[in-house]
Amino acid sequence: MSSYSTTQKWTLITTIMASSLVFIDGSALNVALPALQKEMELTGTQLLWVINGYALFLSALLMVGGALGDLYGRNRIFLIGLVLFSISSLVCGLAQNASQLLVARGFQGIGGALLTPGSLSILSAHFNNENRGKAIGLWSTFSALMGIIGPILGGWLAGMGYWRVIFFLNIPLSIFVFFGLLYKVPESKNASAKKLDVVGAVLVTLGLAGVTFGFTESSDLGFQHPVILMSVGIGITTLIIFTYSQKRIRNPMMPLSLFQSKTFTGANLMTLFLYMAMSGALFFVPLNLIQIQGYSEVKAGLSMLPIIICIATISPLMGKYIDQKGYRLPLIIGPLIVAAGYFTFTLIGISEGASSYWSTFMLPFLLIGIGMGIVVAPLTTAVMGSVNEANIGVASGINNTVARAASVLAIALLGAFALFSFKGEVIEKVETLGIEQRAQELLIEEAEDFTAAKPPLSLDKETALQAQQIYKEAFVSSFDGVVIIAMLLALLSSLISFLTIKNQD
């Protein structure tokens, strides 16, 4: 960094630390979910909302955050997002019940949407074409390192009963970033930025909210409940209206002309399906490891490291490969390897715990990491290479939004599937126990807590042990269903790449 100016050094430090906030918060919290669920006494549906309450607003408002920064100043919008993110983090850490936690997570998502796009925009504004690539490389490397540290940190804190500290850590980091950016990094904005597409922003937010709410709550109310049908119906209709509006509005948030490129369309469809597979399946992995397989929180965090390490080490190598050979082949092969990783999860069942890691969970994590490592850099290059230079920022924003929306939809859809499957398995097996009706009802009611379900204390020891085994087997069955769906989504993304992606001339 010795060749950089003082402004550039501070720009790098503040943007890296800001992105680290989001990476640590996400990766650490996933491993801490079982501990959080236990202490807050969350139902399975509420557990889904802990992740989706944040991801919903982040995905829906990501492009809005970028547009506001271009219009009103990137530093200004970034700092507003940072303040909102850090205050919301404090409230999350102090939350005493599920309602407080879920509302705070929603506001944290809004803060993240204002914060995340500004990070790379500010970085790009203070580095020229000669050193911008190197600066973004440093930013990406440190972001990947935070992804490695997050699960270990989350597991360690959760293991000691301090999952709330994950949220509190954001406060000192945010204060440092706030004053560093305010006093050391000059303001920048896009002089040619157009008026904000308010209609598009409202429509896409309502659309995603409707679909997410409907599928997430369907596990409690049932798919045929009027509230669920109305929510999903309004969500889908609003997203269709949003798409139509982008044709009519003068300065659309998502210019549909970009989708005239077959490669751009294919790359975004591939992003949607592959990231749905990734987010949907990996949401359930820590629950499986800790609640079912008997891993400690620390070992659960460490066990997932092959994914992050493979992505961090293979991605730079793929950058060199695509300069010489193009990005089409990696985008076909990578998802196939990821699909193989998801399939191998189904061969595990209930293992002997962390002592059997190397013969059970190591292989799927390794395959998923290798596959995603092959995909990440070529996918970004395909998106950027399929549009002209003037539209690179918008194209990147659309692809980022698709990836985030994929996460929201995956956890809503696969979460609903998993909860339905789990409850169905429990009901079917409890009825074979030959116990009185009231005891059966109590065991089925407990299934609402998903992996935190425990046999009632009123049961005798033998029946309680049988019930505990039923809960474990029901979860493994629903988990296998989730990873099979993830495998199919990964295979579909490979097929889309084969049919649509063309190497840049």
Lowest-pLDDT range, 34-48, 163-177, 283-297, 450-464? 450-464
Average pLDDT rounded to a whole number, residues 98-108? 91
pLDDT in tens, 175-187: 999 999 888 888 8
Q: How confident is the model at residue 293 (pLDDT cuts 50, 70, 90)?
A: very high
Domains and CATH numbers, the chain: 1-196 (1.20.1250.20), 258-505 (1.20.1250.20)
* pLDDT the model gives residue 380: 77
Give 228-271 as a DSSP string.
HHHHHHHHHHHHHHHHHHHHH-SS-SS-GGGGGSHHHHHHHHHH
- 392-430 vs 461-500: helix crossing angle, rounded to 10: 150
pLDDT in tens, 190-240: 666 667 778 888 888 888 888 888 887 887 777 788 988 999 899 999 999
* pLDDT the model gives residue 147: 61
pTM higher than 0.75, yes or no? yes
* pLDDT the model gives residue 87: 95
Q: What percentage of residues in the chain have a pLDDT greater than 90?
A: 26
Handedness of CA 44, 45, 49, 52 (dihedral sign): positive
Q: What percentage of residues in the chain have a pLDDT greater than 70?
A: 93
Q: If we measure between CA atoms, which residue out of 412, 290, 481 comes closest to residue 45?
A: 412
pLDDT in tens, 437-482: 887 888 888 888 787 778 877 777 888 888 888 889 999 999 999 9
Q: How confident is the model at residue 41 (pLDDT cuts 50, 70, 90)?
A: confident
- Provide, for the chain, the percentages of residues in helix, strand and coil under a 3-state DSSP scheme, each rounded to the nearest 5: 85, 0, 15
User: Can you tell me the distance from the alpha carbon of 27 to that of 21, in angstroms, rounded to the nearest whole number?
Assistant: 10
pLDDT in tens, 342-386: 999 999 999 999 999 999 999 999 999 999 989 887 887 788 778
